[in-house]
A and B are shown apart, each in its own frame.
Chain A
Amino acid sequence: MTIANTGPLAPVATHRRRPYGLLLVATPVLLVAWLVIWPIISAVIQTAFVTTADGGSAVSLETYSFFFSDGYSLSNLSMTLWTTGVCAALLLVVCLPIALYLRFSDSKVAAYVQGLAIFPMFVPSIILSFAFIRVLGPNGTVDLLLNSVGLPHIRSPYLTPWGPVIGLVWDNIPLTVLILLSGLGNVSNQSVEAARDVGAGKFALLWHIILPRISNSILVAISFAVLGIFSAFTLPYILGPAAPEMMGPFMQRTFRELLESKTAITQAVVTFGFCIVFGLFYVRSVAKNRAA
């Protein structure tokens, strides 16, 4: 007896349709409602209304107009946008060749390369930050090596905008490679061989056969990276400059050090706004994938 899989979840025998299923899923669902959905709604409401003198409330975009007129906030935002853009571009430039190599190679070296590419997933970003400082920081290993061969010190990326960029790219390599690799799995060997048979060179192959097939995976990988990088905290907090700072450390400082929770939440809603397209696209892709 085969049942066509129509929905994202395979249908179950319907004579078991009793509400106690709801009971079993209630706790995690309520947790999501309380700690994901409600905070987002509440954040928007909280920042869009002000309490008036007579105790009522009125729509006011005061906190947002402050954010978008404050030079410091804006420079933080533009630095975040810059970092996210540069990271996304770098990730593609780094990961696409790795994924292509892994997809079309079966040598023993490939297994090693794959292992290395996935390895950062098992290195917590806090250890990465420490390693970054020890290697690229002032008097770090790179300086030692340069010094030993009589070359001048590097201009260390530590505490400059490039610090978080390097760290975030390093951190995001595994999932980007995995997502691209999974997309490349949809490109069959036959289609590649057929294209070569009709005379496609390597570049034509990449441009006309492979890239069109994996464009969705590329967008998913970018969306995932953007969502992670836009509000990254640990790496920019440790490796980045004190001012201007990325949105993550900025929100943290506003919330915990300046104790201006409303301002911090406004900043959070701004990050939501900038990422909404990527977020929706990402969720849609995951849901579609799951449904397939």
Chain B
Amino acid sequence: MSVLKIKDVSKIFPNGTTAVDSFSLDVADGELVCLLGPSGSGKSTLLRMVGGFETPTSGLMTIDGEDITRVPPEKRPTGMVFQSHALWTHMNVFKNLAFGLKLRKVPADEIKRRVEGVLELVGLGGYGTRSVTQLSGGQQQRVALARSLVLEPKILLLDEPFASLDQHLRERLREEVRDIQQRLKITTLFVTHGQDEALSMADRIVVMRDGKTEQIDRPDVVYREPQTPFVAGFIGTMNLIEGVVANGVFSKAGYSTPVPVSDGPVTLAIRPEAVDLTAASQNAHGKVHRVTDYGTHGLVDLELLDGTRMKAMVPHPDLFKPGQGVTLALRAVAAYRDGAVIYRTGVVTPVSHPALVDA
């Protein structure tokens, strides 16, 4: 039952690089917040500062109102799950879990009870005597999670916990972790560079870039209403087309569509599922370059007259052939100027599909 507040936290490394730049975030009780960004965006540094492994250059962090900014990691009520598991290979599973409890002088019988309880929770009941090196990658990750959970931390920190696992296992584990997190109602901060992970697990997503926040919103909002061209391009598949608006009309390579904003350059963002393609032999806006059939739908790569590439989702890919001329109609667009959204049409219902999200 805990609240994490991060206020104006910055981290400047001795070599002069600014990893985190006055970052602020409130994580509500029982909420799972994902820090999402490309590598080097400062998300891991931020998480390590919350865990106490890096000291902020400036700013303030509190847990339940208590200042933890300068508290060493061993005195913080946080539990961290590391990307590489970081299990202690010279101890068996039970000892890995019991170590923190022993440090807290918990009586032996209670240690046993709690460790076994948590192992049960992560689906590893009876694995206590196993050596951690004998476990599979997924089991090791569960042990790492259990090692943090057994101490009942106020804040759970997960640093790309599934990065070393294969795709299939990753999907299963993230569901399990989400289940456990919701069952325990534990406030969680989760770092990932995988948007599918963020979209499927988070209550809210923080999209980070260069140590700064680009957008903080619910996953569906981040997907449908990206506030910046960076978020638009980073989450899901997005066509970003640079062009110019004159008299309320956006034009690019012979294609034009009304965008009611003031004159000047804009970046138009269109999801592939918001593009309607029609085969056309005359007055074509572009031609088909490649058609990929995903079974449930198809994805057409097309080329506008000036060579600009776009992707469009089509329900019947067999209607399109490479080299064929097409006309397009855009059902929903967003326009960005100077890094901010200046216009958005109505929202299209996303046809979520892994092939799109992972692309």
Contacts and interface: CB of A to CB of B under 8 A. Distances in A.
Interface of A: 1, 14-15, 17
Interface in B5-30: 13-14
Interface string B183-204: 0000000000000000000000
Contacts of B45: 1
Complex A-B, nearest 4 residue pairs according to Cβ-Cβ distance, in ascending order? A14-B14, A1-B44, A15-B55, A15-B14
Contacts of B14: 14-15, 17
How extensive is the interface on chain B, given as a class? under 10
Q: Is the interface of B mostly helix, strand, loop or mixed?
A: loop
B128 to A, nearest CB: 32
Contacts of B13: 14
8 contacts: A1-B44, A1-B45, A14-B13, A14-B14, A15-B14, A15-B54, A15-B55, A17-B14
A244 to B, nearest CB: 57
A1 B13 CA distance: 13
A14 B14 CA distance: 7
Nearest to B15: A14
A17 B55 CA distance: 14
A65 to B, nearest CB: 56
B143 to A, nearest CB: 22
Nearest to A2: B39
A149 B13 CA distance: 81
Nearest to A1: B44
Contacts of A15: 14, 54-55
Interface centre among A1, A14, A15, A17, by most chain B C-beta atoms within 10 angstroms, is A1
Contacts of A17: 14
Contacts of A14: 13-14
Contacts of A1: 44-45
A15 B14 CA distance: 8
Interface in B258-281: none
A17 B15 CA distance: 13
Contacts of B44: 1
Given A1-B44, A15-B14, A17-B14, 5 more contacts: A1-B45, A14-B13, A14-B14, A15-B54, A15-B55
Nearest to B83: A1
Nearest to A15: B55
A3 to B, nearest CB: 11
A49 B139 CA distance: 72
Nearest to B45: A1
Nearest to B19: A1
A282 B55 CA distance: 43
